[in-house]
């Protein structure tokens, strides 16, 4: 058993012993202070984000016991500021919001700072934006105090939608004043979310590295992984692939493969074949010498990403070789879409359609990109450039719709409809 586990069990046994009915009278006689009970709760919560998921039951138990204690304690115990802080931190740590209402209603001696309780009551009732400025000022005022990191964290939660830069500052303050705690875990994870939305790639990668090194085993690590994947896929041109490798190197091989697989899938859907290929290759290399269950799926995403490239033959083969039974319903839909696109690109043209455009009249020749650029440059300055018509519609207009091969028109209409459906499917999947 590790030192951390020994310490956790010591706190757990200590808490259970003090709170059991058999010793309840002794605990009351000793005036078990709320701040002492809070220390056990904080340790349990920090153990959860450090990877001890079994501590979740103890967390719920501790929250219930502290709630009872805060309601039943003699009000004079709040002469000690540590107990006032403990009550406020309890509420900000997932405690019962009604307990705060109870404490405020019975606070005849003014133990609790009205500014703090007011902003907390608004925040806990979903009206934090109404007091965002006061909350930001209060968090700054209480920096360095026990409740400071918690106020900074909830201040960031309030500002994240309207003032993401200010929220990032508050999250930095929270994590720097509570390192290694559940507060730092939440602050880091939400900081990555802000960087995704604001395009602060370098900061986002730095936060990601800290998160992986400290909270890899947190129950919220899957949320972080989603944010990390979104960061590098949305801003792939600003991300050095080696940086991604370096960050994920702190994970064990199975976790790395899972994240790289998410990257490959997201990149394939976003139409970024280079990133999808890199991630798929990492999945394969991490599974060398072992039975790699992710290998075929990595090949599938790699093949899907290569559909619009010169490697479409190989891509189509990868897609066809994947058994639909081994894919999730979402991936089955992606497979069908990718297979349909590949088939349309690889299908040989109908010989009859090749003759429909042959005519000595040069006025209806297909316009190339170079010719379009030259034509645009030749227009008088200030003239509006007419949008070039699609080749098919332009030819039909010049020759007369009766001269167009009906089978060719049917082919275009049918397959354009298919591609529109596929685009809609991929757009929905990307969301």
Q: What is the pLDDT of residues 247-277, one digit of tens each?
A: 999 999 889 988 998 898 888 888 888 898 8
pLDDT confidence bin for 346, thresholds 50/70/90:
very low
The confidence score (pLDDT) of residue 284 equals 81
Cα separation values, 7 from 1, 13, 41, 180, 286, Å = 10, 10, 13, 15, 35
Q: What is the pLDDT of residues 107-164, one digit of tens each?
A: 999 999 999 999 999 999 999 999 999 999 999 999 999 999 999 999 999 999 999 9
What single-letter DSSP state applies at residue 176?
Answer: H
The confidence score (pLDDT) of residue 269 equals 80
The confidence score (pLDDT) of residue 88 equals 97
HEC assignment per residue over 347-416: CCCCHHHHHCCCCCCHHHCCCCHHHHHHHHHHCCCCCCCCCCCCHHHHHHHHHCHHHCCHHHHHHHHHHH
For residues 55 and 57, give the distance between their C-alpha atoms in angstroms, rounded to a whole number. 6
For residues 208 and 223, give the distance between their C-alpha atoms in angstroms, rounded to a whole number. 12
HSE on the CB side for 192, CA within 13 Å?
A: 24
Q: Is residue 336 over pLDDT 70?
A: no
The confidence score (pLDDT) of residue 270 equals 84
The confidence score (pLDDT) of residue 215 equals 96
Q: What is the pLDDT of residues 158-217, one digit of tens each?
A: 999 999 999 999 999 999 999 999 999 999 999 999 999 999 999 999 999 999 999 999
Mean pLDDT over the full length of the chain: 75
Dihedral, CA atoms, 198, 201, 185, 248, nearest 10 degrees?
A: 150
What does pTM read for this prediction?
0.69
Q: Is residue 350 over pLDDT 90?
A: no
The confidence score (pLDDT) of residue 322 equals 57
The confidence score (pLDDT) of residue 27 equals 45
The confidence score (pLDDT) of residue 316 equals 53
Domain-by-domain residue ranges, the chain? 1-103, 252-349+407-431
Q: What is the pLDDT of residues 13-65, one digit of tens each?
A: 445 444 444 444 444 434 689 999 999 999 999 999 999 988 888 999 999 99
What single-letter DSSP state applies at residue 251?
Answer: S
């Amino acid at each position: 058993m590790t030192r951390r586990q020994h310490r956790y069990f010591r706190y757990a046994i200590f808490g259970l012993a003090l709170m059991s009915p058999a010793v309840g009278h002794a605990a009351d006689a000793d005036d078990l202070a709320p701040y002492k009970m809070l220390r056990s709760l904080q340790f349990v919560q920090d153990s959860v984000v450090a990877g001890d998921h079994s501590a979740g039951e103890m967390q719920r138990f501790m929250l219930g016991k502290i709630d009872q204690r805060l309601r039943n304690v003699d009000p004079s115990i709040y002469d000690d500021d540590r107990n006032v802080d403990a009550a406020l931190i309890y509420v900000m740590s997932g405690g019962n919001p009604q307990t705060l209402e109870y404490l405020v209603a019975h606070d005849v001696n003014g133990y609790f700072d009205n500014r703090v309780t007011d902003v907390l009551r608004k925040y806990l009732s979903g009206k934090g934006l109404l007091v965002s400025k006061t909350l930001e000022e209060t968090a700054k005022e209480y920096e360095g105090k026990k409740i400071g990191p918690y106020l900074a964290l909830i201040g960031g939660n309030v500002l994240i939608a309207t003032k993401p830069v200010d929220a990032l500052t508050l999250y930095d303050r929270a994590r720097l004043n509570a390192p290694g705690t559940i507060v730092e875990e939440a602050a880091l994870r939400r900081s990555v979310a802000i960087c995704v939305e604001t395009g602060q790639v370098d900061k986002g990668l730095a936060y990601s590295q800290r998160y992986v090194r400290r909270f890899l085993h947190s129950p919220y690590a899957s949320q972080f992984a989603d944010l990390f994947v979104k960061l590098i896929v949305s801003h792939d041109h600003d991300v050095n692939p080696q940086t991604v490798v370096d960050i994920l190197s702190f994970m064990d091989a199975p976790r790395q493969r899972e994240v790289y697989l998410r990257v490959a899938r997201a990149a394939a859907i976003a139409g970024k074949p280079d990133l999808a290929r890199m991630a798929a290759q990492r999945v394969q290399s991490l599974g060398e010498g072992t039975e790699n269950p992710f290998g075929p799926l990595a090949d599938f995403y790699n093949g899907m990403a290569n559909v619009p490239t010169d490697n479409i033959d190989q891509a189509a083969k990868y897609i066809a070789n994947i058994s639909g039974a081994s894919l999730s319903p979402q991936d089955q839909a992606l497979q069908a879409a990718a297979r349909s696109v590949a088939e349309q690109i690889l299908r040989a043209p109908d010989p009859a359609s090749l003759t429909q455009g042959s005519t000595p009249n040069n006025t209806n020749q297909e316009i190339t990109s170079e010719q379009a650029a030259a034509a645009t440059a030749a227009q008088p300055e200030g003239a509006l450039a007419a949008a070039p018509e699609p080749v098919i519609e332009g030819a039909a207009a010049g020759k007369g719709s009766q001269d167009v091969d009906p089978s060719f028109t049917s082919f275009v209409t049918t397959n354009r409809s298919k591609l529109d459906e596929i685009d809609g499917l991929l757009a929905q999947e990307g969301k």
